[in-house]
Amino acid sequence: MKLQIGERIFEIELNSSILAQKIFNHLPLQLEVNGRYGDEIYTLTDFGFPLDENAKEIMEVGDIAYWVKSDGSKEAIAIFFGNTPAGDGTKPIPVSKCSVIGKIVSEIVDHEIIGKGDKIILG
């Protein structure tokens, strides 16, 4: 499966979680980068799904995760290309828990030039 952000294309794999399968049913998705949190980029979504039972606070570089604000008012897909401001330099830590739905399996290159407004195609 491919994740395209601007002109950059990454190979990804979704995991076998129920949440990942629910999101898979909505593919292909055409989104845009809404912001960055260090080397995490995120795109707001409106699926309306809750986090799953495997939601966690510490991610791995390359993780693709689904995030829901604690009050349920916002949700996003977050892509962890590297460290975040809350991270310790080895593992990215998001603002709050996320449910991992997949992973980038190709080499992570040129993520530094991804910015707000870049188009995202997932699928």
Q: DSSP readout, the chain?
A: -EEEETTEEEEEEE-S-HHHHHHHTT-SEEEE--EEETTEEEEE----PPP-TT-BS---TTEEEEEE-TTSS-EEEEEESS--TTS-SSS---SS-EEEEEEE-S---SGGG--TT-EEEE-
Q: The pTM is what?
A: 0.95
For residue 110, what pLDDT is reported?
80
Q: What does the block give as tokens for 64? A: 């693709």
Q: What average pLDDT values come out for the chain (123 residues) when binned by 10 residues?
A: 94 98 96 96 96 97 96 95 94 97 93 93 95
Structure confidence at residue 77 (pLDDT): 98
What is the pLDDT at residue 98?
98
pLDDT value for 101: 98
Residues 6 or more apart whose CB falls under 8 angstroms from that of 71 comprise: none
- Domain limits, the chain: 2-122
pLDDT of residue 72: 87
CATH fold for domain 2-122:
Cyclophilin (2.40.100)
Q: What pLDDT does 111 receive? A: 86
Q: Is residue 66 within 8 Å of residue 122, measured between CB atoms?
A: no
